Structure 1
Amino acid sequence: MERTAAGGATDPAPVPEAGLPGAAGLLDGLPRQRGPVGATAVRATAAPAGTEVAAPGARSPLLRPWRLLPTPTGTPFTLAYAVVLTVTSLIAAYADPGVVHALHQGSSTDVAHLLRTPGLVLLASALWIAGGILAPYTLCLLFVLTTLERRIGGARTALVFLAGHVLATLATEVPVGLAVLAGHLPDSSLHRLDYGVSFGVAGCVGALAGLLRPWLRWPVLALFGGMLALDLLALTDPLTNWGHLIALGTGVGMWPALRRGRSEPRRVL
């Protein structure tokens, strides 16, 4: 179709821009754009609010392996926590053994400390990690926290970690106190040394699984839960092993809240 100008000349009808959906009628009133910038602008206009629009030719964030590492802007909570764990690991490795033992005892979430200073020891016990900052469990912690924080933000990641850490600690230590009162355990059980990040990690693994696609969610839960179950069957430390399973279940129980509050519509993987 041709349009007639005032002077009688004809102008060719606008040709839809390459790469844009629809014919010219869908773009009436929109100025022509050049190159991929125009395509991006139109797609961003048509995208629902809150949807992340990638630039043409850009790789998916899930294909960038460096996104598994904490960064100051992307994952400030995980990075700050990693710095704290690095400092405490250096203290544990190089400070006087007597000082380190006193710090561990002061941070222990045993029954005696939970009765006197519950808030202090629940936080302090999560500042120490067995095996040092380069231990496999530490690397697992950083990977899980980084991935979870990129999905739900630092504040909610911290809440998930604390929920697993606190609930599993109370669920395992309160029965110890009751058993001592009933005479089934000696008084020394009230001072059982208990510290570390493993309950928080297990809670975050359970929460993160709920944001994965089903083909990955259930294998992750089966593999991690299976390892925890095998540890429990070995009877090396049943109280701690039960705590890991309780923390994992705590993270799984948070799926509905995390899914409702997601800041992005896409799921991890």
Structure 2
Amino acid sequence: MRLLRPSRAKARPRPWRLLPTPTGTPFTFAYAAVLAVTSCVAAHADPALVRTLQQASSTDVAHLVREPVPVLVASALWVAGGITSPFVLGFLLVLTALERRVGGVRTAAVFLLGHVLATLATEGPVGLAVLAGHLPDSSLHRLDYGISFGVAAGVGALAGLLTPWLRWPLLAGSGGMLLRDLLARTDPLTNWGHLIALAIGVSTWRWVRRAAAA
């Protein structure tokens, strides 16, 4: 007589895996710790000091021309809007999920790719417009910093690793919110940057899929 094997117990849900941990997602965890420190400084330090630090970290045209690498790094150490910004939650969930699938190095590469390329794509036209006389010289010092471009690129990359019934709602929902912000015209340059960064993340699908499969 053939004996039936007992059914395997269902895997227990582990909600803590949605958030970064020192061993499971070291890049996201360490980066989140840095952002927590700078957000604490922004919330409690002297406002004049905070303004000076953020202005020095701004990826405006003037800074990008003089010291592009340091300012691109420094600008990604602050959270625009503070710790309550929705991009903070997006950073934790999206980068954690991405790092668990493709590793810390590739996650950092996706983040930096979106942060750097979207910044250059939005600040470059500003510099050209100033040279052409269409914008005042003060536009060269536009305050611009934060993690949102990198997070948007992470969303785009992560979507390529999900099943279709999760991928397309994520892209539609994220793209819809970014388009709504663009149409509201509150900050057109930043809003365009978010959409560009999302597209940059989508362009990495082949690369992140190979990494996830390996």
TM-score category of the 2 structures, normalised to the smaller one:
over 0.9
Which residue type is aligned with residue 197 of structure 1? I
**Which SS does the other structure have where 1:142 is aligned?**
helix
Aligned sequence identity (%): 70
Which residue type is aligned with residue 226 of structure 1? G
- 2:146 aligned with 1:196, yes or no? yes
- 2:35 aligned with 1:81, yes or no? no
Q: Name the structure 2 match of 1:209.
A: 159
Cα distance in 2 for residues equivalent to 1:171 and 1:141: 22
For residues 28-63 of structure 1, what are the alpha-carbon distances to aligned partners after superposition, in whole Å with 9 as ceiling and x for unaligned?
xxxxxxx99xxxxxxxxxxxxxxxxxxx53616xx3
Q: Name the structure 2 match of 1:29.
A: none
Which residue type is aligned with residue 242 of structure 1? W
Q: Name the structure 2 match of 1:133.
A: 83
Cα distance in 2 for residues equivalent to 1:135 and 1:111: 25
The partner residue of 1:260 within 205, 210, 214 is 210
- 2:124 aligned with 1:174, yes or no? yes
Q: Name the structure 1 match of 2:109.
A: 159
Structure with more contact order per residue of length (Cα contacts < 8 Å, sep ≥ 6): 2
**Which SS does the other structure have where 1:140 is aligned?**
helix
- Figure out how many residues of one structure are paired with residues of the other and give that number: 214
RMSD: 1.8
How high is the TM-score relative to the length of structure 1? 0.76
Larger radius of gyration: 1
Worse-matched range after superposition: 129-138 or 170-179 = 129-138
Cα distance in 1 for residues equivalent to 2:162 and 2:3: 37
**Which SS does the other structure have where 1:122 is aligned?**
helix
Which residue type is aligned with residue 32 of structure 2? A
Cα distance in 2 for residues equivalent to 1:135 and 1:236: 16
Q: Name the structure 1 match of 2:69.
A: 119
The partner residue of 1:227 within 177, 182, 192 is 177
Moved over 3 A (4+): 15-19
**Which SS does the other structure have where 1:172 is aligned?**
helix
Q: Name the structure 1 match of 2:11.
A: 59
Q: Name the structure 1 match of 2:18.
A: 68
- 2:40 aligned with 1:90, yes or no? yes
- 2:70 aligned with 1:102, yes or no? no
Contact 2:87 2:147 (C-alpha < 8 Å) held by counterparts = no
Any stretches of 5+ residues in structure 1 without a counterpart? 1-14, 20-34, 37-55, 265-269
Cα distance in 1 for residues equivalent to 2:174 and 2:164: 15
Which residue type is aligned with residue 197 of structure 2? A
- 2:198 aligned with 1:248, yes or no? yes
